[in-house]
Amino acid sequence: KNEVEQSPQNLTAQEGEFITINCSYSVGISALHWLQQHPGGGIVSLFMLSSGKKKHGRLIATINIQEKHSSLHITASHPRDSAVYICAVRKSTSGSRLTFGEGTQLTVNP
């Protein structure tokens, strides 16, 4: 079992829909990252969280440390949001390296 689990694995939405991607982890962490990988492969860091909530444009990320759970929300989704979204944690015991979830493939149709 992975230490970082994401759901769903695949998600298809219509343009304009509100989207939620979930991430659960089973280890102590010092930070959690949400990453975006577009077709063509580059990885972009969207958020780094250690508590609470962060917002950037139409993207919102929340984390509940007690429940070991984080969510990434996309409001008013758009086809350009289609990408793989990856949750990654910095474990308390593993220095600065990241441990990754398997990613969620999001497809937003026009």
Partner 1 sequence: DTAVSQTPKYLVTQMGNDKSIKCEQNLGHDTMYWYKQDSKKFLKIMFSYNNKELIINETVPNRFSPKSPDKAHLNLHINSLELGDSAVYFCASSQDLMTDGGYTFGSGTRLTVV
Q: Is residue 35 a contact residue for partner 1 (CB under 8 A)?
A: yes
Q: Is residue 70 a contact residue for partner 1 (CB under 8 A)?
A: no
Stretch that binds partner 1, among 10-18, 37-45, 60-68, 72-80 (CB under 8 A): 37-45
Contact predicate 38/22, CB 8 Å: no
Q: Is residue 60 a contact residue for partner 1 (CB under 8 A)?
A: no
Stretch that binds partner 1, among 10-18, 62-70, 73-81, 99-107 (CB under 8 A): 99-107
Euclidean distance between CA atoms 76 and 41, whole angstroms: 24
β-bridge mates for residue 14, sequence order: 109
Q: Is residue 97 a contact residue for partner 1 (CB under 8 A)?
A: yes
Q: At 80, phi and psi to the nearest 5?
A: -70, -10
Q: How many CB atoms lie within 10 A of CB 67?
A: 8
One residue of 21, 33, 89, 106 binding partner 1 per CB under 8 A: 33
